[in-house]
């Protein structure tokens, strides 16, 4: 049976030693984040995720959700676990203290989120969607809406969703048909069908607040005519108490490949009373607050599933005896050696470890950049950090979820036939990981967003905030022999990324198909370089300024980083070759020839 161990030591290292938080030391929220406090947070998060949530992971997958008379029942134990998690404040870490939240930085909260997701991704979705809805209402809602809805969302008493997709439209939200009819009291009657709504109906909270995209009469066609509305499952009266049902109906739940304990619903809005969030016809601006937050969250899902799969794979490789080491028996007292002696098992474990720990470093680093974009007292630094986060969000979402599928597949492979058997728990991680590449904007769409919107925006300005610091880092350490195993491979990979960027910029002026054909390979190349940058920075920090972790910890870091540079980062060469081969080999085949 696979096990889960919260990555407490690695998280402490990243927060206490790797991350330089001095840039926000003049902000009280960050000056209070001492190692004693953050270490205690991670220790407690590790305990509750290992003891409360992980034991419900497999049983929740086996039982799934059930729908009866429009009501969804979650698996056994979920309701009690939800109460414990929300009452302890684990569901509102970044929410404002004004509404009862913890007011913690993203780099702390996202590290905790990884542990929650690793232990039980289906459970985590119920809390995660509420935070996304909170963010949209907190930023764009009226003061009246905030006071009426946010305190109960923050406490976990009420939950939230995002309702975008309709049966006839997914990525192309300009095709939305849901209607919003204005009423005399300033509210709207919402009618329409939405599908694939995570946590759209469940029994964990007494009310569910849906953020719904819809069109008002005579609104502009396409994406410019969409508005965002808050539609509660149960009406809320002026005093904040619950009133009558609001004609919000769950008509079906999906029976899925994975995340089976998360209710994925088809929702019908039948003249439901709703409230405008943000400006009329500018719903996408407000919804993107949720979507960008969700995309970072989904990237963390890829990382989290990779980690829990690695936990199970390491245990099995150390315990399962099978064959003898190629160089002679390592455990002569036994009839065979443990799997971990075999080079190919080591190759898979090292790949899992290098991807996972590199991705965790990127997650921590990017989360802090998000904090800078929100809290820096310097407007220029806020703006630059915002552009960097915007640039890297599609890379983070796509690369980490692709990595999640790769790593969970390797974890299952290490178990051999036993990995394919449900009772051992490893195949669930692969099934759960697969959705992460699809929802919140499929990875191919993320690649198009990167090359079609993020790169050309403001004449490529956003690239400066990643390329320039990386180039400076490589120049500063080019003559450091101790860092040569990390600097030289990264320098070559970065050069390939620069060449690919120039190729896309030139081709985009003459043939958009060239850019579309190169997009996915370009995003992967970018992701490899971004994680390589994290590994090089960790190596530099360890070699030149070692902290308080055990020497064995640092030794493992350096060796794992070297594996990434020598075994995984060279994939950037083939990606560059592939994307520069052009679009003809993709587009030449006639439609009738498929």
Active site residues: 440
Helix (H) or strand (E) holding 559: helix 551-563
3-state secondary structure 400-412: HHHHHHHHHHHHH
The span from the CA of 425 to the CA of 121, in Å, is 14
* Angle (CA) 103 229 268, round 5°: 115
* Angle (CA) 82 412 524, round 5°: 85
Q: How many CB atoms lie within 10 A of CB 577?
A: 11
The span from the CA of 93 to the CA of 191, in Å, is 34
371 neighbors 377 (Cβ within 8 angstroms):
no
Tell which residue, 157, 277, 273, has the closest CA to residue 213. Answer: 277
Q: What 3-state class would DSSP assign to 10?
A: helix
The span from the CA of 421 to the CA of 34, in Å, is 44
Name every residue whose Cβ is closer than 8 Å to that of residue 180 and which is 6 or more positions away in sequence: 188, 189, 190, 214, 215, 216, 227, 229, 274
| Interior/surface letters 155-183, b for 16+ CB within 10 angstroms, e for the rest | bbebbbbbbbbbeeebeebeebebbbeee
Q: What 3-state class would DSSP assign to 357?
A: helix
- DSSP 8-class letter at 583: S
Q: What 3-state class would DSSP assign to 73?
A: strand
Name every residue whose Cβ is closer than 8 Å to that of residue 588 and which is 6 or more positions away in sequence: none
Size (the chain), residues: 594
**Assigned token pair, 408:** 């969970």
Q: What 3-state class would DSSP assign to 376?
A: coil
Name every residue whose Cβ is closer than 8 Å to that of residue 274 and which is 6 or more positions away in sequence: 180, 187, 188, 189, 190, 212, 214, 229, 230, 231
140 neighbors 286 (Cβ within 8 angstroms):
yes
Q: What 3-state class would DSSP assign to 274?
A: strand
Tell which residue, 385, 343, 344, has the closest CA to residue 367. Answer: 385
436 neighbors 404 (Cβ within 8 angstroms):
yes
Per the listing, tokens 């310097």 go with: 378
Distances, alpha carbon 213 to alpha carbons 166, 277, 345, in Å? 10, 10, 48
The span from the CA of 302 to the CA of 564, in Å, is 18
């Amino acid at each position: 049976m696979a096990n889960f161990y919260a990555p407490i030591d690695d998280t402490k290292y990243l927060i206490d030693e790797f991350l330089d938080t001095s840039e926000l030391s003049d902000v009280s929220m960050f000056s209070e984040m001492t190692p004693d406090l953050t270490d205690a947070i991670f220790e407690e998060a590790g305990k509750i995720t290992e003891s409360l949530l992980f034991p419900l992971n497999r049983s929740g997958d086996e039982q799934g959700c059930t729908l009866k008379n429009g009501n969804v029942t979650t698996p056994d134990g979920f309701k009690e676990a939800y109460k414990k998690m929300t009452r302890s404040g684990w569901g509102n870490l970044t929410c404002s203290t004004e509404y009862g939240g913890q007011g913690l930085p993203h780099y702390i909260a996202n590290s905790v989120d990884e542990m929650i997701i690793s232990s039980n991704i289906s459970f985590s979705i119920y809390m995660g969607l509420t935070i996304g809805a909170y963010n949209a209402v907190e930023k764009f809602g009226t003061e009246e809406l905030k006071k009426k809805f946010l305190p109960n969302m923050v406490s976990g008493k009420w939950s939230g969703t995002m309702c975008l997709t309709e049966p006839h439209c997914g990525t192309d939200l300009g095709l939305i048909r849901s209607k919003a009819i204005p009423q005399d009291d300033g509210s709207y009657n919402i009618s329409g069908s939405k599908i694939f709504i995570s946590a759209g109906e469940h029994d964990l909270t007494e009310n569910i607040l849906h953020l719904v995209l819809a069109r008002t009469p005579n609104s502009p066609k396409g994406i410019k005519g969409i508005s965002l509305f808050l539609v509660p499952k149960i009406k809320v009266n002026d005093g904040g108490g619950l009133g009558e049902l609001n004609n919000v109906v769950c008509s079906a739940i999906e029976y899925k490949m994975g995340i089976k304990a998360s209710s994925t619903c088809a929702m019908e809005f039948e003249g439901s009373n709703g409230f405008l969030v943000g400006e009329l016809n500018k719903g996408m601006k407000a919804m993107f607050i949720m979507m960008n937050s969700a995309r970072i969250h989904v990237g963390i899902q890829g990382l989290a599933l990779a980690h829990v799969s690695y936990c199970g794979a390491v245990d099995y490789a150390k315990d399962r005896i099978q064959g003898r080491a190629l160089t002679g028996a390592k455990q002569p007292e036994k009839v065979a050696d443990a799997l971990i002696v075999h080079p190919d098992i080591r190759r898979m474990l090292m790949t899992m470890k290098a991807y996972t720990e590199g991705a965790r470093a990127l997650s921590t680093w990017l989360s802090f950049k998000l904090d800078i974009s929100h809290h820096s007292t310097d407007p220029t630094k806020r703006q630059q950090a915002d552009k960097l986060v915007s640039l890297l969000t599609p890379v983070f979402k796509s690369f980490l979820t692709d990595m999640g599928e790769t790593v969970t597949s390797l974890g299952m492979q290490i178990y051999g036939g036993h990995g394919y058997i449900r009772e051992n728990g490893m195949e669930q991680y692969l099934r759960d990981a697969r959705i992460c590449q699809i929802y919140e904007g499929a990875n191919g769409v993320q690649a198009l967003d990167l090359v079609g919107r993020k790169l050309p925006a403001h004449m490529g300005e956003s690239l400066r905030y990643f390329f320039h610091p990386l180039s400076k880092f490589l120049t500063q350490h080019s003559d450091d022999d101790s860092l040569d195993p990390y600097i030289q491979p990264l320098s070559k990979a970065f050069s390939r990324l620069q060449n690919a960027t120039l190729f896309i910029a030139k081709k985009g002026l003459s043939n958009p198909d060239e850019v579309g054909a190169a997009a996915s390979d370009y995003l992967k190349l970018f992701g490899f370089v971004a994680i390589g940058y994290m590994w090089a920075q960790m190596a530099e920090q360890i070699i030149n300024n070692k902290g308080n972790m055990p020497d064995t910890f640092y030794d493992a870091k350096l060796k794992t980083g070297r594996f990434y540079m020598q075994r995984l980062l060279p994939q950037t060469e083939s990606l560059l070759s592939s994307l520069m081969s052009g679009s003809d080999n993709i587009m030449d085949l006639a439609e009738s020839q498929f």
